[in-house]
Structures are given as C-alpha cells and as structure tokens.
Structure 1
Amino acid sequence: MAAARRWLADQGVRQVRGGWVTDEEPEELLTASQVAHSLAGDVFAEDLDAADQVRLAFGLLDLLDTYWVTCEIRFADESAEGPLPAGVLWDGYRQRLEAEREVEAVTYSLWVDWFEDHTTSASAFAEVLGNDIDRVVAEPSEALLRRARRVLECSGPVRWAVKEPAYRTALRLPALHSALFRGVRASFHDLYGDLEPAAALALLDRLELPADTQYLAELRHVLAAGHKNHHRSPGAWDQAVRFCS
C-alpha cells in the first residue's frame, strides 16, 4: 500500500480528509472511484516488469478499495501484453480473500468478472479455492476459512461440474456449512448461476444448519421439483415461498 501511495503522489494525487486531491486542482475533492477510473490503468504502462505492475495494482486496490482497480487488472490480463503472471495475480486475490478487512471489491470482481465468464471461471475458481480446498479442510486456520467462505458464497456462476468437488470436500468441515448453503442458494438465484438440482439437494441434506435457516425450506422445495435456476423457472421460487409459509 505504501508503494501505491508513493506512486499516486508521483502522479500528483494525495489523500486528504474526506477524499483525494490533485496538485493541479487542490480545492476539488475526488472520490477513490474517481481516482481509480483516472489512474489505475496507468499502472500497467509503468516501466516495471509485469509482476511488479500487478503488485502495484493490488496495492492501489488496498488503498482505494474500489472495484474499478480490479477491472483494470482484468483488462491488463486480457490485453495484447497479457496474460499477467498467474502466480502473482492469484496470490494477490488469495491474500485479500484471507484478510480480516472487508473485501467486497475482490469478491465482487470474482463473481461478476471471473466466475460469470465461463472462459475463466474454472481456472479462477481453482486458483482461489479448488486447488487447495483439501488443505483448507485439513488445516482450517482463520485466514483459510475466511477465504473459503468468501469464495463459496460468490461461486454461484461457476459451473456445477467445476465447483461440486470443492463443495463435497467442504462438507467435511461444519464451519463451512453456512457458506456452502449460501453458495448453493446463489447457484440457484444468480442470473448465471449453475447447479444440478438432485446433486445440490443431496448436498443440502448433509449440511448441519439450524432448522429455521432462512430460505432453506424454499430452496429444498425448488430443487426437489427439479428447477435449476430462478431466472429459467419464473414463478417457481414464489410458489415455494407460498408452499413453505
């Protein structure tokens, strides 16, 4: 983060109480989002190797805490100069998914950019959870559990065949059951959510959840009826709500 702050200072941008200002117009208060839209992409034009560019971009994300920085990272990965070094890229995501601080920009980026795109969802899911879910379950530190929960909860758009093995492994750890439930629920409700009803219902049946878990009965109902997605079965959820009320 310190390197990112120095880089912004070199661009004539500094943080003040309530926002950001430029040296050229110090009276005009800017939001973090405005700074990101204006400058984040310039990180990848710096005379640095690609790995250091990625590290600087993630430092900027930590500092500005805004989704647009992750967009510029994705744009750089897809550019003619890309792809970005995968090790540094996904280390950056994993570290922030494990952090205690709120990481909404990171999870939103995973959800709408990497997971909704089926050309990247399998590799992205593997990098942030699928490749080491066995270690998470066997050695469940608080940091690893934070990452697993956050990924599971936004994994709705990932193809069922891709995420089901990780879901089944996560079943072995009750501390992940609530996140698994939210992942299955998102798999049904998300516009691009994906699941197999019978397999998802069987997974739900093995979760240790409070009997009064909100929407559990409704989710069981739609899955038992064979519905795969809220948006492809208009009215099914409302019918389940009426049935379970």
Structure 2
Amino acid sequence: MQNKDAEVARRWLADQGVSQVRGGWVSDEEPDVVLTANQVAHSWAADVFAEDVEAADQVRLAFGLLDLLDEYWVTYEIRIADDSAEGPLPADVLWDGYRQRLEAERGLGAVAYSLWVDWFEDHTTSDTAFAEVLGSDIDRVVADRSEPLIRRARRVLECSGPVRWGVKEPTYRTALRVPALHCALFRGLLTSFHDLYGDLEPAAALALLDQLDLPANTRHRAELRHVLTAGHRNHYRSAGAWEAAVRSCS
C-alpha cells in the first residue's frame, strides 16, 4: 500500500510541476534550482488538503508524500488538517496510515517524531492517538509477536513519554511479556521522566523497571532507578535530582 501511495503522490507532484532528480527535486518554475525534500514539503504539503477529492483520499495522498519525502512537515500538515474547520480527518484512514508506517521495515523518522510532538504531547489527542497506534492492539502484539507488530510497538513505546501514565501503564505492563520490547519499554520510562511533558508514577515505574531484562551495560538504568526510588516524577519538576543521581551512580 505504501508503494502505491508513494506513486500516487509522485504523480500528484508531477501535476504540480515538481519532479525528482539526482540530489533532490526541481520545479518547472525554477528548473535550475535543486530543492531539498524539506523545501518540497514546506511548499506543497498543505496543498494536498486543498484538493477537490474525498478527505480519505487527501489523507492517503499526504501519507504518500510522506513516503517520498520522510519530512516532519508533511505530518505537521496532516495534524493541522485534522484540527481545522474542515476536520477531523477520517480516523480509520488517518490511524491506519500511521500504523502501516510504524510497522514498515523502512522506518520513517518523521512518523515517530510527529507522534511524540504533535499527538502525544497534546493531552487533548494523546489518549486517542496512543490507543490507535498501540494501546488497543497490545494484546494482539503479545499473542502474534510478528516482526511488523513488534516494530510498531517498539517505535511507539520509545516515544510514549508524554502520554499520561494512567493511559500507558496498562500497555507497558502487557508489553513486559515480550522480551523483545524490554529495551523500548526502558526508553519509554526514561523519556517519561526526562521529557518536558513526560508523565509517570515513580513507584509503579520503578516496579516496571525492575522487571526489565536489559543488557548489563544499559546506559542510565542506575540513574533512573535512583530518581524513581527517591520519588521523583519528572526531570523538570525535580531540579538537580538527575544530576545527583549521576554523581551517586558514577
């Protein structure tokens, strides 16, 4: 599906007078100027949602553009369109687009980044977003353990720090049953402490941390255990706590 979406997006860009060349992209208006993927995203991604087609087709086209460019700005325009007066976007198509790309062997960095900063940090959307990309599926991940599902779970857990603890804790506890997810769970706990909008309950997070089977040289495990044992919830709400943990554990 992703290849099909990308080809549709490539044809759409061609209709806008934009084509790919060695080293970047060019437009018919300035054929001698090579554009970066980021420049293409900033100049044309918003136009996808002005197309006179069904909203579902707009979303698929936007994801196809994301497949071509792997630029965060495309996901930003998706989020803006969902929150616009014409929104929300069709939820089934929107979240299926995210799930497909989170499962793909070729990871798109912009996908996880957009979940983190646009959907998970905003508590008006984080509960739904987390449920759609992992929370509602975690039992299937545990039962199936296919590579695509494990990839998706790993990528979501690693950027889940801003999601409210009460929302993500049941998923974290279920994910404990899959050893292949333990390193991603650790990253989730670590960012839950360090992220500006990170959220955790120290005692519950400590209990999870102590059940993770991690490599002996896992960086920051001791420091995280130190701050959680002391009851700290967040790096930014406990000035000096992390630095003290680093000194204590060095």
> TM-score by structure 2 length?
0.97
What is the percentage of aligned positions where both structures have the same residue?
A: 80
Give the secondary-structure state (helix, strand or coil) at the position aligned to 2:20.
strand
Q: Which structure 2 residues correspond to residues 62-81 of structure 1 after superposition, within 5 A?
A: 62-81=67-86
2:3 aligns with none
Q: Which structure 2 residues correspond to residues 77-116 of structure 1 after superposition, within 5 A?
A: 77-116=82-121
Shift of 1:79: 0.6
Residues in 2 aligned to 1:102 and 1:89: alpha-carbon distance in whole angstroms: 18
What is the aligned counterpart of 1:20 among 9, 25, 28?
A: 25
Residues in 2 aligned to 1:45 and 1:38: alpha-carbon distance in whole angstroms: 13
Structure 1: stretches of 5+ with no match in the other structure: none
Q: Deviations over 1:186-245 (max 9, x none)?
A: 000011100000000000111111233111111000000000001111111110011011
Q: Deviations over 1:112-152 (max 9, x none)?
A: 00000000000000000000100001100000000000000
> TM-score by structure 1 length?
0.99
> Which letter does structure 1 place at the counterpart of 2:170?
P
Shift of 1:102: 2.4
Q: Which structure 2 residues correspond to residues 48-197 of structure 1 after superposition, within 5 A?
A: 48-197=53-202
> Which letter does structure 1 place at the counterpart of 2:107?
E
Aligned Cα root-mean-square deviation (Å): 0.6
Name the count of aligned residue pairs.
245
> Which letter does structure 2 place at the counterpart of 1:37?
H
Shift of 1:98: 0.4
Give the secondary-structure state (helix, strand or coil) at the position aligned to 2:30.
coil
1:216 aligns with 221
Structure 2: stretches of 5+ with no match in the other structure: 1-5
Residues in 2 aligned to 1:213 and 1:70: alpha-carbon distance in whole angstroms: 32
| Deviating 4+ runs (over 6 angstroms) | none
> Which letter does structure 2 place at the counterpart of 1:198?
A
